[in-house]
């Protein structure tokens, strides 16, 4: 972010507000500018503080989050609202979006998902919590083409393209695994939620393709990228990130990434790269080329 994102927290539970404030304080590009104990106070503070984004609970005793969102967007049109609720109901999420919310995050999700959601919403995109993800709604499913039943994944006489997935959000990994496993000649050989585990899997599994996020718990994806061997054994690297910034693209390219895709809109491109690689291997009858 070019400047810190100003966040207002609106939740009637003090424990939730304290946890969010302490956690978000450790994120360099976020500044918490205020806290509201209910929807009515949230509307008042939104008008007074003009934050960039509001983390808004749904269920509150005075004015609920959906009503508060409508009032805030009427009074402060430029502000964005990320609903943060214990409700994992799609019907509630739909009501929130109908009220003008820009994203919906279920409280049972990991804090890193919340930070990712804030980044996605601030970049002008809608966010739907991983807890609401479903097989039927996963975008890009049709790009897989031929079903596994029609074309077996394993190519007779040759090793399939072996893919390792590294992302701290389970929904993202599951969606990628689902789409990639439907491709002829592609095999997802492992998954990791953080860099240390991924490093061990890279050594043990020797994947042909590494698909990974930049922002990971502990060691970052960039650190992992920089640690990869500069040799023929290095996998083809696809960065799948929530951040669509030229400086990050250039940095990852210098560190050896082969592709950089923007997570909210580029899932199809990730699948296309793996599909084209597998198709080329089948056509030429050779091992995956080193990047």
Q: Tell me if domain 5-132 and domain 141-284 are identical in fold.
A: yes
- Nearest CA to 237 out of 217, 220, 260, 254 is that of 260
Given a contact cutoff of 8 angstroms between Cβ atoms, the answer to whether 147 and 124 are in contact is no
Instruction: Provide the pLDDT for residue 267.
Output: 81
pTM of the model: 0.49
Let me know if domain 5-132 sits in CATH 3.40.50.2300.
yes
CATH architecture of 141-284: 3-Layer(aba) Sandwich (3.40)
- Find, among 93, 172, 114, 189, the residue nearest to 138 by Cα: 172
Q: Would you state the structure tokens that stand for residue 162, as one six-digit string?
A: 């072996």
- The pLDDT, as a whole number, for residue 33 is 97
Query: In the structure, what pLDDT confidence band is assigned to residue 41 with cuts at 50, 70 and 90?
Result: very high
pLDDT over 90 at 54, yes or no: yes
Domain extents in the chain: 5-132, 141-284
pLDDT confidence band for 83 (50 / 70 / 90): very high
Q: What is the pLDDT of residues 105-139, one digit of tens each?
A: 988 777 888 888 899 999 888 888 866 754 333 33
What's the DSSP call for residue 71?
Answer: H
**238 DSSP β-pair partners:** 211, 259
Residue 142, burial from CB neighbour count under 10 angstroms (0-12, 13-18, 19+):
exposed
| Per-residue confidence band for 63, with pLDDT thresholds at 50, 70 and 90 | very high
Q: Is the pLDDT of residue 245 over 80?
A: no
Q: Per DSSP, what are the bridge partners of residue 54?
A: 8, 81
Q: Give yes or no for a contact between 54 and 72, defined as CB atoms under 8 angstroms apart.
A: yes
Could you give the percent of the chain with pLDDT greater than 90? 37
**278 neighbors 160 (Cβ within 8 angstroms):** yes
pLDDT digits (tens, 9 = 90+) for 155-195: 333 468 899 999 988 888 888 998 898 888 899 999 998 88
Tokens of 104: 């919906």
| C-alpha to C-alpha distance for 75 and 97, rounded to whole angstroms | 17
Task: Specify the pLDDT at position 145.
Answer: 26
- Find residue 31's DSSP bridge partners: 6
- Residue owning tokens 């790009």: 143
Q: What is the pLDDT of residue 1?
A: 55
Does 288 score more than 70 pLDDT? Answer: no
Contact 126, 159 (CB under 8 A): no
What does the alpha-carbon distance between residue 14 and residue 260 come to, in Å, rounded to a whole number? 40
Close Cβ partners of 236 (under 8 Å, ≥ 6 residues apart): 208, 209, 210, 258, 277, 288, 290, 291
Q: Would the pLDDT of 242 be above 90? A: no
Nearest-5° Cα angle at 195, 191 to 197:
55
């Amino acid at each position: 972010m070019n400047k810190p994102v100003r966040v207002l927290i609106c939740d009637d539970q003090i424990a939730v507000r304290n946890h969010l404030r302490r956690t978000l304080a450790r994120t360099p590009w976020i500044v918490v500018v205020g806290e509201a104990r209910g929807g009515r106070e949230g509307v008042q503070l939104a008008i007074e503080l003009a934050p960039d984004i509001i983390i808004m609970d749904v269920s509150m005793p005075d004015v609920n989050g959906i009503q508060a969102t409508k009032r805030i967007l009427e009074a402060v049109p430029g502000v964005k609202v990320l609903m943060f609720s214990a409700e994992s109901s799609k019907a509630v999420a739909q009501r929130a979006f109908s009220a003008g919310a820009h994203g919906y995050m279920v409280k049972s999700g990991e804090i890193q998902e919340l930070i990712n959601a804030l980044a996605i919403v601030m970049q002008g995109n809608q966010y739907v919590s991983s807890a609401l993800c479903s097989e039927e709604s996963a975008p890009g499913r049709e790009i897989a083409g031929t079903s596994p039943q029609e074309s077996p994944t394993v190519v007779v006489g040759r090793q399939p393209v072996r893919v390792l997935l590294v992302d701290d959000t389970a929904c993202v990994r599951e969606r990628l695994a689902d789409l990639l496993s439907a491709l002829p000649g592609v095999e997802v050989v492992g998954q990791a939620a953080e860099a240390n585990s991924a490093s061990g899997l890279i050594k043990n599994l020797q994947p042909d393709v590494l698909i990974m996020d930049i922002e990971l718990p502990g060691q970052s994806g960039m650190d992992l990228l920089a640690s990869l061997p500069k040799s023929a054994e290095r996998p083809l690297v696809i960065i799948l990130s929530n951040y669509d910034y030229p400086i990050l693209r250039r940095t990852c390219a210098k560190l050896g990434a082969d592709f950089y895709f923007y997570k909210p809109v580029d899932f199809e491109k990730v699948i296309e790269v793996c599909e084209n690689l597998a198709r080329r291997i089948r056509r030429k009858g050779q091992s995956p080329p080193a990047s």
